[in-house]
């Protein structure tokens, strides 16, 4: 039996002392084993992953405070910035050195430096193998280039960690804001990172983590901020989406007005910012302008998850039990499908397939183009809590017991169950086939199918192309009184932002002009945080 260092089973001449020593050692040994088992709870072991045809690409413990928890994380893939990787293979083992990994001098290797580091590492491995009598094991170097994949993680005390999402290597760490104040969330674009701490939002440089500026929010922050190339958007508890132009270094902001608080990070598409509210609205506004909301979808119950986008379609689930598809360009409702129970998670698009998990832990597959159930999926798969990712033929999910399961996308049969997985946190990844799991303590894993040596991109490598079918549109009768966007005639009656008439101030909690910005006098009077 292996014992912890510093303990011995040496017998003594005093029976009582001997019995006490042995029992103490056994107790400590079992405690250590129990500690190891507890430490492994919440993520996959290599053995269990391999039994299901998966492999753990990398694991890392992010450096957050010992008393803090992981509160938010996000994946960013930049197709315009490539990263070259050098893979050192020997036997069944592989080591990866990326051009953006830090050298011993604390600066990125670069392509030539990473290649030289791989050559040096190869010599070291060959020397060790010769010393171990394993001269028949070949050490080989290969390379490949991929779009840059970056993961950002945020600890509750304000630590922001930037990781290479393909290798798990840490690129930089930055302390942001006041560690005594709550860190609410983060959001990233391809150039900047936004972090909400207390009542301020901080703008960080994407590549270095340097804090560029911070801005004061005019009300409490309700959920994670998000970034576009031009702006940082922060959802506030009063329903407004405070917008900070990045080039104005936090000195100027304006508001997009909506109704109800937001519980999810806003979604950035190519042309719009989309955010959902507890009032049951999905609000859509153009990027980079001071215009008000372009259109909004109104459901009959709160929306507590982020919207999703694929092509020219927006998808959102509501606590009213329906999933909605909206044409992003026109704002026309394409279809709505009932799941019978509240939808609390974001819909997950995959090519022409849309996967939705209801509050009853049921997984639905919907034809994203038509809003119908495909053959074989007229009934949902029960016992599913969350979608985790995709493989070649499989959708991976977390079941109601916290275990990772694989479901055939065509037959809906459960083909894999990974025992003892007990996954705590899952990062939604709608870009590649890499699945990211984490514990609340900040231990992060990247998992993928064994056959997927390099990341496969869902839209180009795995997803089935959408067929050319006629678009299903709601007719006039469906857009009448039941039109979730409302009609021009009843806008004044149900407009929570009031009319253009200044006499409606008492009924309008947001001021007199629905297109007002942060210059509104009435907003400043009630602002507990000042003008910032």
464: helix, strand or coil: coil
Please indicate, yes or no, if residue 340 is contained in any of the structural domains. yes
pLDDT computed for residue 93 by the predictor: 86
CATH of residue 355's domain is 2.130.10.10
Please indicate, yes or no, if residue 500 is contained in any of the structural domains. no
Please indicate, yes or no, if residue 496 is contained in any of the structural domains. no
Q: Which residues contact 356 (CB under 8 A, 6 or more apart)?
A: 317, 323, 339, 343, 345, 347, 348, 363, 364, 366
Residues 51 and 1 in one domain: no
Please indicate, yes or no, if residue 304 is contained in any of the structural domains. yes
Could you say which DSSP state residue 236 is in?
Answer: B
Residues 52 and 12 in one domain: no
Q: Return d(Cα 197, Cα 224) in angstroms, integer.
A: 10
Q: Is the pLDDT of residue 444 over 90?
A: yes
pLDDT computed for residue 440 by the predictor: 92
Please indicate, yes or no, if residue 342 is contained in any of the structural domains. yes
Mean pLDDT of 99-121: 92
Comparing 71-75, 202-206, 401-405, 469-473, which segment has the lowest mean pLDDT?
Answer: 469-473
Please indicate, yes or no, if residue 470 is contained in any of the structural domains. yes
Mean pLDDT of 20-32: 40
pLDDT tens digits along 493-512: 444 444 444 444 444 433 43
Please indicate, yes or no, if residue 181 is contained in any of the structural domains. no
Strands 348-350 and 313-317: unpaired
Domain that holds residue 23: 1-29
pLDDT tens digits along 385-396: 999 999 999 999
pLDDT tens digits along 266-325: 999 999 999 999 999 999 999 987 778 999 999 999 999 999 999 999 999 999 999 999
pLDDT tens digits along 376-385: 999 999 999 9
In the chain, what percentage of residues exceed pLDDT 70? 78
User: Minimal CA–CA distance to 241: which of 270, 219, 213?
Assistant: 219
Task: Kindly provide the residue ranges of all beta strands, DSSP E only, lying in 320-419, ordered along the sequence.
Answer: 322-327, 333-338, 348-350, 353-357, 362-367, 381-382, 384-390, 394-399, 404-408, 414-418
Count how many domains the chain has. Answer: 2
Are residues 181 and 198 in contact, defined by beta-carbon separation less than 8 angstroms? yes
Residues 13 and 49 in one domain: no
Residues 17 and 49 in one domain: no
Q: Is the pLDDT of residue 219 over 80?
A: yes
Q: Is the pLDDT of residue 515 over 50?
A: no
Output the DSSP codes for 376-392: T-SSPEESEEEEEEE-S
Comparing 60-64, 186-190, 241-245, 379-383, which segment has the lowest mean pLDDT?
Answer: 60-64
- Element containing residue 20 per DSSP (H, E): helix 15-40
Higher pLDDT residue, 91 or 197? Answer: 197
Mean pLDDT of 218-235: 96
pLDDT computed for residue 333 by the predictor: 98
Kindly indicate the confidence band of residue 528, based on its pLDDT and cuts at 50, 70 and 90: very low
Handedness of CA 268, 76, 198, 264 (dihedral sign): positive
pTM, to two decimals: 0.76
Are residues 488 and 347 in contact, defined by beta-carbon separation less than 8 angstroms? no
Residues 25 and 58 in one domain: no
Please indicate, yes or no, if residue 249 is contained in any of the structural domains. no
């Amino acid at each position: 039996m292996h014992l912890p260092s510093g303990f011995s089973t040496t017998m003594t001449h005093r029976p009582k002392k001997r019995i006490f020593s042995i029992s103490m050692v056994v107790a400590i040994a079992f405690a250590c084993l129990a500690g190891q088992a507890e430490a492994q709870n919440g993520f996959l072991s290599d053995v269990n992953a391999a039994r299901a045809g998966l492999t753990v690409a990398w694991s890392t413990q992010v450096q957050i405070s010992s008393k803090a928890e992981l509160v938010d994380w996000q994946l960013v893939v930049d197709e315009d910035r490539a990263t070259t990787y050098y893979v050192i293979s020997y036997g069944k083992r592989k080591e990866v050195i990326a051009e953006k990994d830090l050298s011993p001098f604390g600066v990125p290797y670069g392509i030539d430096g990473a290649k030289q580091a791989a050559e040096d590492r190869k010599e070291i491995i060959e020397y060790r193998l010769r010393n171990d009598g394993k001269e028949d094991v070949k050490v080989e170097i290969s390379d490949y280039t991929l779009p840059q994949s970056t993961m950002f993680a945020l600890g509750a005390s304000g630590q922001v960690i930037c990781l290479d999402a393909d290798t798990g290597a840490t690129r930089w760490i930055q302390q942001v804001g006041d560690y005594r104040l709550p860190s609410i969330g983060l959001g990233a674009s391809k150039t900047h990172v936004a972090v909400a701490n207390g009542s301020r939002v901080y703008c960080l440089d994407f590549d270095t983590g340097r804090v560029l500026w911070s801005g004061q929010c005019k009300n409490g922050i309700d959920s994670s901020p998000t970034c576009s190339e031009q702006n940082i958007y922060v959802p506030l508890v009063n329903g407004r989406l405070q917008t900070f132009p990045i080039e104005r270094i936090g000195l100027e902001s304006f508001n997009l007005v909506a109704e109800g608080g937001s519980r999810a990070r806003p979604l950035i598409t190519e042309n719009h910012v989309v955010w959902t509210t507890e009032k049951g609205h999905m609000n859509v506004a153009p990027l980079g302008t001071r215009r008000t909301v372009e259109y909004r979808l109104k459901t009959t119950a709160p929306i507590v998850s982020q919207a999703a986008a694929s092509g020219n379609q927006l998808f959102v689930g509501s606590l009213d039990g329906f999933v909605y598809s909206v044409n992003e360009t026109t704002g026309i409702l394409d279809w709505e499908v009932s799941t019978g129970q509240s939808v609390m998670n974001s819909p997950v698009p995959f090519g022409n397939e849309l996967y939705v998990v209801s509050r009853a832990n049921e997984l639905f597959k919907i034809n994203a183009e038509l809003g119908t159930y495909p053959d074989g999926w007229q009934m949902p798969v029960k016992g599913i809590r969350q979608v985790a990712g995709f493989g070649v033929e499989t959708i991976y999910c977390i079941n109601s017991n916290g275990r990772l399961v694989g479901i055939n996308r065509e037959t809906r049969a459960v083909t894999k169950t990974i025992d003892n997985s007990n996954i705590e946190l899952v990062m939604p990844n709608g870009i590649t086939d890499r699945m990211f799991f984490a514990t609340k303590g900040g231990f992060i894993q990247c998992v993928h199918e064994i056959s997927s040596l390099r990341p496969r991109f869902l839209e180009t490598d795995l997803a089935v192309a959408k067929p050319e079918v006629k678009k299903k549109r709601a007719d006039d009768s469906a857009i009448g009184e039941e039109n979730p966007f409302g009609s021009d005639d009843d806008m004044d009656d149900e407009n929570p932002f009031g009319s253009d008439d200044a006499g409606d101030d008492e009924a309008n909690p947001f001021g007199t002009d629905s297109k007002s910005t942060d210059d509104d006098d009435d907003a400043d009077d009630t602002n507990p945080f000042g003008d910032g």
